[in-house]
Chains A and B, each alone.
Chain A
Amino acid sequence: MPTHTTFVDDHDIVRQVIAGDINAFGFLMQKYQGHILTVVGNHIPHNQAEEVAHDVFVKAYQSLLTFKFKGGFKQWLSAIAVRTCYDFWRKEYRSRETPMSSCSEEEQNFVERALAKQSIQATSQENSQKEASELLDRALDKLSPEDRMVLELVYLEGLSGKEAAGLLGWSVANVKIRLFRSRKKLRKILTGFLED
């Protein structure tokens, strides 16, 4: 939980940057680099996380004049990070060549490997971290960017609907409706993988 002092310190640095001291932004970057990498790493494949985190800090710098000195800088920066991740998936979604419903040979092989396990329990205990992560990534890849972001923030990360709405800039009602629908879609995709 950020303290009042943290807010004031961050606010002072933001004022310095706005007044023209570009190097002061380096302090903010150093302070929040780890946090932003965690946020970005949760949503973006690791091989592209560096590039996206780079974009986050550049966007933050360019948007600094819109920063309201009422809330915390960390929260404001997190919202930029989440929206940058959302933009990343929107671009990815548009540039996809294969239709979302098709199942690649690689995916089929993965499902067969998963089916070879005797039970889900066995899958989750043995060496399962990597496999579970792969299965989840494959399932999330089949969702729209909106569904993916809501599902990751609320269902997987455990944020409240209000927190997710604040980060995405959506209404709480929109988040709740989308979460309900995307959970149903995820279930359908996962059961589809394992029952086919």
Chain B
Amino acid sequence: MKDPYEILGLQRGASKEEVKHAYRILAKKYHPDMNVDNPLADLAEEKFKEIQQAYDDIMNGSSSSSSYTTNGYNNSNSNLNAIRQQVNVGRYQDAIRALNSVLDRNAEWNFLMGVCYVNLGSTGQGVQFVQRAVSMEPSNIEYQNFLTQITNMQRAYQSKTYNYGRGGSNSTDCCTQLICADCLCECLGGDLISCC
């Protein structure tokens, strides 16, 4: 399979913002609407799909995935295995119904319940279930990973809000000052940097 970064004309490890820019430019170029009269419209459409796939792969691959799922490995409990299958295919409501009729509420039960709740948007309760699963069985990597994924996402958001407006390390660099000067000029009716 071709490297998704290569498809977007980028170096591996390009930033998210670079990926978004590259996707925008290429998607516009190959969009079916833009190529109606093009004799190579079929090729363009194929290329368009490839770009879309590459974008999705990059966006869902590296960050804390787009859907919070179980990793599908089986425990010994056959009763919960069937429910796990439902969770894996996204039938969360059915899974919750089935889980509610299980009497032995062990760590895995709490974990599966948590995964269902998080995916249905009841994030607060979902996290509580998974936390309970982790405290019942602290050595279980699957439960821990799930919780870490969510904690990392929360941390990422908090650090972005913390750093927002603080400008990071280059707040006083020459470029920022120029832009500030540009804003001031625009205020007074002039323009220092013509492009912005």
Q: Are A and B interaction partners?
A: no
Question: Which B residues lie at the A interface, using CB under 8 A?
Answer: none
